[in-house]
Structure 1
Amino acid sequence: MKPLCIIVGFGTGVGLGVARAFGQAGFQLGLIARNPSKYTGALQSLEEAGINATFEAADVSNEKSLTDAITKFQQSQKVEVLIYNVVSPRYGKPTSLDAEQVVQDFRINVVGALVAAKAVIPNMLSQEHGSILFTGGGWAHYPWDEAASISIGKAGLRSLAFTLSQELANTNVRVALVSIMGQVAPDTPFDPDKIGGAFLAMHRQPKDEYQTEMLFKGA
């Protein structure tokens, strides 16, 4: 049976690049998106490349919805890799933001990652291996006032990755993030397929070379 990689936040950008990388490496893919019907073309391209993938719909801001989707994938096999690739793309300076909007963004950008991680950690611990990887961003390091909520979210996600990594340090479950330090675009150093390769490289790192964060500055 192929190892399972669950990608929360599949789309036509980084999500597709990550899916290609892990699919070509022999993984069965479990893809989660709010509206899977939007990505039938992307799914077809994976299938044409001989990559096995199935979809579940979920609202990442809803704990039960996200947990249920991840649980469905784990009913048939245990997950080896979880990737959380979600961001609420709300722009605006801090004082222009509504408080409830920021709370909702934080649920999507950070809390959803924790919910997803908690849904797979028990199985990963029982099988004594697994990788939990988050999509980080440069705004965690260099906050931008025009993207205040995203900057807050990426900083929170980075802190979550580091604290989870500390908690699980004495296990064979590793937690890390790939922080994309530039604008994602095809046929550039930040091509989604190149980013997908970085995620796969993080998963394959030997334990004595583990790093909690990779700053992806282009390839």
Structure 2
Amino acid sequence: MPNCFIVGVGPGLSDAMARRFAAGGYAVGLVARGASHIRSLAEELSQDARSAWLCADAGDAEALVGALSDLEDRIGPPDVLIYNPSVMRAEGPLNLPIPTLRNEFEVNVIGALACAQHVAPGMKSRGRGTILFTGGGLALEPYPEWTSLALGKAALRSLSFSLFKDLAPHGVHVAVIAVCGIVEPGGPFDPGVVAEEYWRLTTAPEGLNDREIIFQPQGTDPFYNDPERRHEQTTVPPRDVP
């Protein structure tokens, strides 16, 4: 049975991903900062598939790698790693404290790199594997109100591209998914719909064409990060970015 590890599990998208991969025959390893949610999710998943969970803060790379190692001991090495954490806190570039940026960068980027460095050698040796990062439209078009998150998502996008180039020759596919909207049930960014794209990237990746997915369905608001259109005159919406 193949394994999927999901880091940064909470209600919404990561729940839907866990259920999708479990339904597809994967054992699922869950990592989150707190236990209450992932414990109940793991119990639900265990009715149909193997599952395991551990707590670790994505801002603590050492603890994060330790959790991945423990999950490997429990259910085996991951065939798929999904990195989903981020810190969503509004602050403009001229008021953002440098220590705050450093701390949030640990979650938004450093944790992703630590996870990739941990799982990639095994994937390379097996000649297969998938690493997926949850990005966002702020990586394509930043807004000053979200400076730290935009910097983190832009750096995560760059990291993903670098890993794609480094690992593709070894049979490991890396991709970043820019979810350009608010994930909520019943809408165009329904978590089940978005999770299906993570499944496709794992089971049928199209190489270079699938190193980045910009998930912006037709008719959705490309200015969701700027609902009052304060920056409309200085913005190129994500759907217009090649």
**Which interval holds the TM-score relative to the shorter structure?**
over 0.9
What whole-Å deviation, never above 9, does each CA across 1:15-38 have from its counterpart, x for those lacking one? 101111111111000000011224
Task: Identify which of 60, 65, 69 aligns with 1:67.
Answer: 65
User: Could you say what the CA RMSD is over the residues aligned between the two structures, in angstroms?
Assistant: 1.7
1:207 deviation in Å?
5.4
1:77 aligns with 2:76: yes
1:149 deviation in Å?
0.7
1:45 deviation in Å?
3.9
Aligned to 1:134: 133
1:189 aligns with 2:183: no
Matches within 5 A, 1:171-186: 171-186=170-185
Change (3 A) 1:131 1:210: farther
1:32 aligns with 2:34: no
Q: Is the 8 A contact 1:12 1:39 kept in 2?
A: no
Counterpart of 2:101, as a letter, is V
Which protein is bigger by CA-based radius of gyration?
A: 2
Using structure 2 for the length normalisation, give the TM-score.
Answer: 0.84
Aligned to 1:162: 161
Q: Is the 8 A contact 1:83 1:132 kept in 2?
A: yes
Q: Is the 8 A contact 1:165 1:175 kept in 2?
A: yes
2:98 and 2:208 map into 1 onto residues whose CA distance is: 41
Q: Extract unaligned runs of 5+ from structure 1.
A: none
1:51 and 1:218 map into 2 onto residues whose CA distance is: 32
What whole-Å deviation, never above 9, does each CA across 1:107-156 have from its counterpart, x for those lacking one? 10011000000110111111110000000101101101111111111101
1:44 and 1:187 map into 2 onto residues whose CA distance is: 25
Using structure 1 for the length normalisation, give the TM-score.
Answer: 0.93
2:40 and 2:57 map into 1 onto residues whose CA distance is: 21
Structure 1 stretch displaced more, 168-177 or 110-119:
168-177
SS at match of 2:133: strand
Counterpart of 1:180, as a letter, is V
What whole-Å deviation, never above 9, does each CA across 1:70-126 have from its counterpart, x for those lacking one? 111222422100000010111111122111000111110011000000110111111
1:145 and 1:206 map into 2 onto residues whose CA distance is: 34
Aligned to 1:146: 145
1:47 and 1:37 map into 2 onto residues whose CA distance is: 16
2:205 and 2:13 map into 1 onto residues whose CA distance is: 24
